[in-house]
Every structure is written in structure tokens, then in C-alpha cells.
Amino acid sequence: MGEEDWVEVTVRYKGLEKTVRGDPNAVVSELMAFFASLMPGLEVLSKISLSVDVEALLRDCEGVIALTPEGLVVTAPVDFLPDRELILFHLAIARLANALGKAEGPELTSSELASRIKRSPGTIAGRVSELCSEGLAERVGKGEYRATTYGLDHFRRAILPKVKQRAGG
């Protein structure tokens, strides 16, 4: 990584100053350590915080999705998944497509989900309701849903391995 890829951040807090430069991941880690030393509760929060590294998730999706000029496409068979996992799969792909600038928003409508997974609107409504009550998806508008951070983590840990195993990867 060249110096042009580095970031530099200076933080001033209660008379203390800390300047960190380097690759973005190292800078974030060092800043978290700095803040944890100033605010011990922050270390506990960082240990129980859930976040999903989109870059790592995209690497995990190798062999399952592909990036085309038109957007993300599914390249592995997924129709064997139960309806709720299939819906969450497509909601997760929509979030990734949005993160890559290949979709206007991170959500899908009920009709888009019905079209993608070839299920009835009633089936979609029932399964999306279950996903929302479990915190794996959330309603963001009338008939619009997106995967939550918890849902993306569940997709990465529970659904993606099934798809990769079935695809032979």
C-alpha cells in the first residue's frame, strides 16, 4: 500500500492530542485503542458491538455472486434455501449492491422479492414479517424491506456457507 492510500487523523480531546497515519484499518484500530484508554466503557462497547465489514463479506461471497456492469448477479444455485433464508439472501445482496453503488437503495419491495424468488405475495409477507420480528430485516417504507446489520451477519454465518457448500465451494 502506497502512501497515497494512507489516511491521517488528528484527534484532540481534553488537552490530549493524537495523530495517526497509515492504512485505514490500522488507523481505525489505533483510534479505538486511544479512545478505549480515555473511556474504559468504550472497550466494553466495542466488544459487544456488531458490525459487518462489507469488503470481507464481498470476499466471502466469491463464487456466489458476481459484479457486472448492470449490478450484482447470483451465480450459484439458491433455490434450495427455505423461503425465509432465500428472502434474506436477496435482501443481503441488495444491501451489497447498494454499498457498491449498483443499486439506488439497500431495500427491496415485496413485489421485487416475489419476482426474484417466485413465491406468492402472501408467502413473502409472512416470511418478511418473521424476519422483521427476529431483527434480521426491517421495514423501511410501505412494502419495502432491507436486511439489518444482524441480518447481514446471519447471512454471512448461516446462509452463505450453505450456498457455497451446495455450489461445491
pTM listed for this prediction: 0.75
| Residue 152, number of CB atoms within 10 A of its CB | 23
Q: What is the CATH number of domain 54-166?
A: 1.10.10.10
User: Nearest Cα to 9, choosing from 46, 47, 40, 35?
Assistant: 35
Mean pLDDT by 10 residues, the chain (169 residues): 74 84 81 77 70 90 94 94 98 95 93 95 96 97 95 97 90
**Where are the domains positioned within the chain?**
3-48, 54-166
pLDDT of residue 159: 98
pLDDT of residue 1: 47
Backbone angles phi, psi at 119, to 5 degrees: -125, 160
pLDDT of residue 16: 81
pLDDT of residue 42: 64
| Alpha carbon distances (Å) from 38 to 34, 145, 152 | 7, 39, 31
